[in-house]
Amino acid sequence: MGATPFALPDFSGVTRRLVLVNLVAFFALLLVQFADKGLYAWITLHAVMVPQNFLDGWLWQPLTYSLVHVSLVGTLFELLSLWFLASFLEAGRGSNWTMGLYVSAVIGTALAAVALYVVSEKLGFPIEPVPIYGCMGGIFGMLIAMGVLFGDVQFLLFFTIAVKAKYMAAIYALITFAMLFGQNRLAAFAQLGGALAGLLYIRVAPRRGISFQVSERMYGLRNAYYRWKRRRAARKFEVYMRKQGRTVRFDSRGRQIDDDPNDKSRWN
């Protein structure tokens, strides 16, 4: 398969929602920083992912940290990557599946950071709990999904070099692994956690996504409850009709059994 030419992909569905949510969050924080630096510091302190704070009860951080974007160039790179990857995956696997993948990778990134922090403390080699922010963990999970599901699709790296998706994922994984030996090892390990979460998601998630599966299960439970109510009402109606000297029967689904449609004596 030839290299995919450089062109802006479709901007719709869950891809548009993800990009716009992150873009709005970036400009909102930018305005807050311009208006009140103290408020900006308070928001970022509570929103970024810090393992120690999470262990102290700040349980919202695994979701909010991905909405904190600091630098303009970094944010531009993240959102362009998110746009390209999410659009391709959404076209191939659907909106629910893509959203589930992204959320799983984002949460997996945060939990990996917490796990490394706790283990390092237990082993006596504590790691500085630097804050984690941005959506690179979710993007890495999407990149791994691209490499596994659409590995032979070629893209233009740096808009000039044709490279297959599986090699792009491998290159990024090696770079992130090398970062484990640098100063920012906590963030690097967290991103590998996002990649692992993405890999687990594509292995266990149903074709139409976890959210679709959950909604289907909820609808199934609701329908089962309504069927139970109908059967109970049918049994009560049978008892009532017997007391009136009439015979009415219903099946296990609460539907009336009409043994002889021409026999009207049951109702007279």
Structure confidence by residue, pLDDT tens digits, 77-111: 889 889 988 998 998 888 889 999 999 999 999 99
Q: What is the mean pLDDT of residues 131-135?
A: 91
Alpha-carbon Rg of the chain, whole angstroms?
A: 27
Query: Taking 50 as the threshold, does the pLDDT of residue 205 lie above it?
Result: yes
Closest by CA position to 96, among listed 229, 191, 210:
210
Residue 101: its H or E element: helix 95-123
User: What backbone torsions phi and psi does residue 156 show, to the nearest 5 degrees?
Assistant: -95, 105
Q: Tokens for 43?
A: 């928001």
Lowest mean pLDDT among 49-58, 99-108, 147-156, 208-217: 208-217
Query: Taking 90 as the threshold, does the pLDDT of residue 39 lie above it?
Result: yes
Q: Is the Cβ–Cβ distance between 139 and 81 less than 8 Å?
A: yes
> Given pLDDT bands bounded at 50, 70 and 90, which one contains residue 218?
low
Q: Tokens for 228?
A: 């139970």
User: Half-sphere exposure (CA, 13 Å, Cβ side) for 118?
Assistant: 11
Enter the pTM of the model: 0.72
Lowest mean pLDDT among 84-88, 142-146, 164-168, 250-254: 250-254
Domains of the chain: 13-208 (1.20.1540.10), 221-267 (no CATH)
